[in-house]
Structure 1
């Protein structure tokens, strides 16, 4: 911006700036570790082990973003934010962490790689938005790279859940069989199948929304002036 970065930040803006900055640093560290592992080791085996602690910390910390929306710090739908955050936290803890047979698969590497690059750009974008000093290249990356990264991440997520299915079915992980003292049954295997099926209606809607945002912000829809 011509006037330089905004410096008179409110306490809320200062908090959000620090939150987004540290998230950006965390995801940058994850990205760097993944990149080094793949380039040096030339394999996806061991990628999850190398980043699992950082991945769990910074993805779980994203739960705060739901609180930001609910308290009005961020003007976004808390319901949509909660859904997006919950789906990722679930994949990290409920699938990848819980089913060790998934951890060295290509699917896990795909979704981690897609998430990391997306989040480094997203949190950097938020930092620049708060101080009202947005480089065009960052804005362009924010609304362009998702075109490939979003489908890549979704593909990795589905591959990971698919790999977990036979293990969950065989072991009965997190399932509650009837009869039992509380007279309630739950089959985690079928739950994962339902989660996978939900991608069919949800992914096109979210992807379409991002495409609309891209056309609106950098799609050349500027108004002509006299």
Structure 2
């Protein structure tokens, strides 16, 4: 049952974030820079990702709980409190595009784990997308200085930066483990092929 629910959830996330990216591209092409529909869908998708956190807490999925809390918590705060219709489009799209691409890659990887392209993107694209996303979050939050005040804004930005460094370090560690495991798997495959009867030299 959980496997089916997880499959539906992963597919829904992939479709949702692809739709968000499509809306952003459409606004850029048309030059209209409307944010209302984009913001609404981003908020819906971020709220729905509490499923990830709940699954992690109850032990249905593995992974770092701290990383999940930091990523989801930071994004929820930014999306629900600082993304609204009329917010600066150029600041908003930095975060939204980075989030969308990261999630499209992540959920494609979950759905198609044997696909080498998604594996490569999963453990490499974050090196660019994470810094771009964090910069977008900082710029988006900065647009609300008049509403929340300097101390609150700078404090949140500091938390986002520190959380971003932690998340980046976590992904670097995951990338290192993935690279080591890939190397081990390749050696085993080579060894298996060399021991295969087909590859053994014939005795005259």
Give the TM-score normalised by structure 1: 0.75
**Distance (Å, rounded) in 2 between the aligned partners of 1:118 and 1:124:** 10
Instruction: Name the SS of the counterpart of 1:214 in structure 2.
Output: helix
Gaps of 5+ in 2: 192-204
Q: Kindly report which structure 2 residues correspond to 1:1-226, keeping only aligned pairs within 5 A, or say none.
A: 11-41=1-31, 45-46=33-34, 48-97=35-84, 103-129=87-113, 134-169=114-149, 190-218=151-179, 222-223=183-184, 224=187
Deviations 1:161-181 (A, max 9, x none): 122112333xxxxxxxxxxxx
**Distance (Å, rounded) in 2 between the aligned partners of 1:213 and 1:93:** 29
CA gap 1:58/1:128 in 2 versus in 1, 3 angstroms: same
Deviation at 1:218, TM superposition (A): 3.8
Look at both structures and tell me which one has the larger radius of gyration over its CA atoms.
2
Q: Higher helix share goes to which structure? A: 2
Deviation at 1:29, TM superposition (A): 0.8
**Distance (Å, rounded) in 2 between the aligned partners of 1:56 and 1:135:** 30
Gaps of 5+ in 1: 1-10, 170-188
Correspondence for 2:196: none
Correspondence for 1:6: none
Deviation at 1:204, TM superposition (A): 2.3
CA gap 1:14/1:95 in 2 versus in 1, 3 angstroms: same
CA gap 1:220/1:204 in 2 versus in 1, 3 angstroms: same
Q: Is the 8 A contact 1:63 1:82 kept in 2?
A: no
Give the TM-score normalised by structure 2: 0.82
